[in-house]
Amino acid sequence: MKLKAAPFFRGVRLAGHKSRTANLPIEPLPVTGEIHIPLSRHIGAPAQAIVKTGDTVKKGQCIARAVGAVSANVHASVAGTVTSIGTCPDGRGGTIPCVTVAPNGVQETAYLSPLSDLSSEAIIERIKECGIVGMGGAGFPTHVKLRPSAPVDTLILNGAECESYLTCDDALMRARSKEIVYGAKYIAAALGAKQILIAIEKNKPEAIVAFEKSDLPVIPLKKQYPMGAEKQLIYCCTRRRVPLGKLPADVGVIVQNVATAFAVYEAVELGKPLIDRVVTVTGEGVEQPKNLLCQIGTPLSVLAEICGATENTVKLVEGGPMTGAALTGTSAVVTKTTGGFLFLSGKETAVYEPTPCINCGKCASVCPMKLLPMQTEFYTDAKEYDNAAKYGGVLACIECGACSYVCPAHRPLAQAIKTAKSELRRKA
């Protein structure tokens, strides 16, 4: 069954750049060398390692425990020997704590038993045990999100994938729609939500058809960025507006990414922790773009080699071009939140020198949060962060980058907003 979405007038139309991987199947990436499993690429405290160098671990064995209320367990994504517990490069010039495992080629698993008790408490506990986090990019521990402060009646499955280039969710939806539906039903049961809505941008017709065969309603969405942002998605699917400073649960809604729902299915039915994910590798800098099923912790250099990365690459990005992070090299690893790596050629990137603001108002007209980005930049440049919040509305910004994208003067608006937000947080 198809339902109609409410209109979304703001935002921008991005060039899709998805055609190179949009129809490709998911290819499992063979494990060839050491895996560096991050302990901290989720929101919250890093997990604490419970193995030591020299230990033998099985695939799926818990190797690091969540610390504190907001954190996530971490599991071995391959069977093998722990060769170090330290740090690995994050690809952005810094490091992250990690456990390095040298695979032994045996691939002996330590999965849990399928879950027979399907009570809310048991499902949430299973999700927590399996280290599941939001896989759409945020990395918020799912078990925490499933204990909302207000009653929830609606679960929205986010299959919008509105960023250019990325097709990892599309590939998963085309291949595993039944499992995603099961996962959604387990999440809804955990929440006590009566309604499940599946939201997919119209540029993924095969995925829409796949879900139409299920017993859940599908909402085809206009192709518009940032359609997949939580507040925009909730309005388009339910016409409920999340007030500033409030959470989706305050209007009775929880949003989960489709890959997260698939991970929940695997945790509940197979006892499998979150140890792998689909990653899109694309851009004109690779000869063979792919949707790869990768073990968490696989070095980007392995993906680069298998996809034929060339010297045409002038910019490397983890995630989408609007919200992703520029990388300094191929030292990054696949994390639970890595949707893709973009190897962008000179033709796909442009470096602009900012010129003075011409007060055209375009940045404000596209802002999905109805903010005044030019005001934020003006006050941020003057280091008047309180005024940036008062007149620019910076605290409501969802950092989508649409304002920077349309600015004819190429002002670094989103960057200014991030600076103002971090300064305001530091002062708080």
Please tell me the distance from the alpha carbon of residue 341 to that of residue 319, in angstroms, as a whole number.
Answer: 6
In the complex, what is the shortest distance from the CB of residue 227 to ligand SF4, in angstroms, rounded to a whole number? 13
Q: Which is closer to ligand SF4, CB of 92 or CB of 418?
A: 418
Q: Which residues contact 15 (CB under 8 A, 6 or more apart)?
A: 164
Nearer to ligand SF4, 279 or 414 (CB): 414
Place of tokens 């339902």: 3
CB of 409 to ligand SF4, least distance (A): 4
| 111/378 with CB nearer ligand SF4 | 378
> What gap in Å lies between CA 10 and CA 67, rounded to an integer?
40
- Report the 10 Å Cβ neighbour count for 101: 29
- 363 makes contact with ligand SF4 (CB under 6 A): yes
Residue 254 burial (CB count, 10 A):
23
Residue 14 in the binding site for ligand SF4 (CB under 6 A): no
What are 152's two structure tokens? 């929830």
Count of residues that bind ligand SF4 according to CB under 6 A? 27
Write down the least CB distance from residue 410 to ligand SF4, Å: 8
Q: Shortest CA distance to 285 belongs to which of 35, 15, 17, 90? A: 17
The answer to the question of residue 233 lying near ligand SF4 (CB under 6 A) is no
Is 252 exposed, middle or buried (CB count within 10 Å of its CB: 0-12, 13-18, 19+)? middle
Shortest CA distance to 237 belongs to which of 147, 155, 170? 155
For the CB of residue 135, give the shortest distance to ligand SF4 in the complex, in Å. Answer: 22
Place of tokens 């994208």: 405
Alpha helix segments (H runs only) across 326-412 = 362-366, 373-381, 385-392, 402-406
The tokens for 126 are 């299973």
Our finding on whether 193 is near ligand SF4 (CB under 6 A) is: no
Which span sits near ligand SF4 by CB under 6 A: 31-39, 173-181, 300-308, 368-376?
368-376
Among residues 64 and 369, whose Cβ is nearest to ligand SF4? Answer: 369
By beta-carbon proximity to ligand SF4, the closer residue of 282 and 380 is 380
Question: Using CB under 6 A, which of 1, 102, 358, 382 touches ligand SF4?
Answer: 358
Q: Which of 36, 59, 336, 411 binds ligand SF4 (CB under 6 A)?
A: 411
Choose between 129 and 230: whose C-beta lies nearer to ligand SF4.
230
Phi/psi of residue 156, nearest 5 degrees: -105, 125
Listed residue (193, 55, 57, 40) closest to 131, CA to CA: 40
CB 313 to ligand SF4: min, Å: 26
Q: Which is nearer to ligand SF4, 49 or 317 (CB)?
A: 317
Question: CA–CA separation, 144 vs 326, rounded Å?
Answer: 29
Q: Which of residues 35-74 bind ligand SF4 (CB under 6 A)?
A: none
Q: H-helix or E-strand containing 198?
A: strand 195-201
Measured from the CB atom, is 106 or 358 closer to ligand SF4?
A: 358
Burial of 345 (0-12, 13-18, 19+ CB in 10 A): middle
Question: Least separation, in Å, of the C-beta of 415 and ligand SF4?
Answer: 10
Exactly one of 369, 388, 416, 420 binds ligand SF4 (CB under 6 A); that residue is 369
Minimum distance between the CB of residue 373 and ligand SF4, rounded to whole angstroms?
Answer: 4
In the bound state with ligand SF4, the residue whose beta carbon lies nearer, of 194 and 370, is 370
- The minimum distance between CB 226 and ligand SF4, in angstroms, equals 7
Q: Residue 376 Cβ, how far from ligand SF4 at the closest point, in Å?
A: 7
Q: Which stretch binds ligand SF4 (CB under 6 A): 110-118, 194-202, 334-342, 363-371?
A: 363-371
Among 89, 193, 373, 416, binds ligand SF4 (CB under 6 A): 373
User: Judged by CB, which is closer to ligand SF4: 31, or 372?
Assistant: 372
Helix axis angle, 205-212 to 168-175, nearest 10° = 30
Rounded distance between C-alpha atoms, residue 398 and residue 228, angstroms: 11
**In contact, 276 and 296? CB cutoff 8 Å:** yes
Of residues 151, 255, 262, the one with CA closest to residue 198? 255
Closest approach of ligand SF4 to the CB of residue 407, in Å = 3
Which contiguous run of DSSP H or E holds residue 232? helix 230-238
Tell me, residue by residue from 379 to 408, as one string, x for binding to ligand SF4 by CB under 6 A and - for no binding.
------------------xxxxxxx---xx
d(CA 253, CA 255) in angstroms, rounded, equals 7
| Residues lying near ligand SF4 in the complex (CB under 6 A) | 357-363, 367-369, 371, 373-374, 397-403, 407-409, 411, 413-414, 417
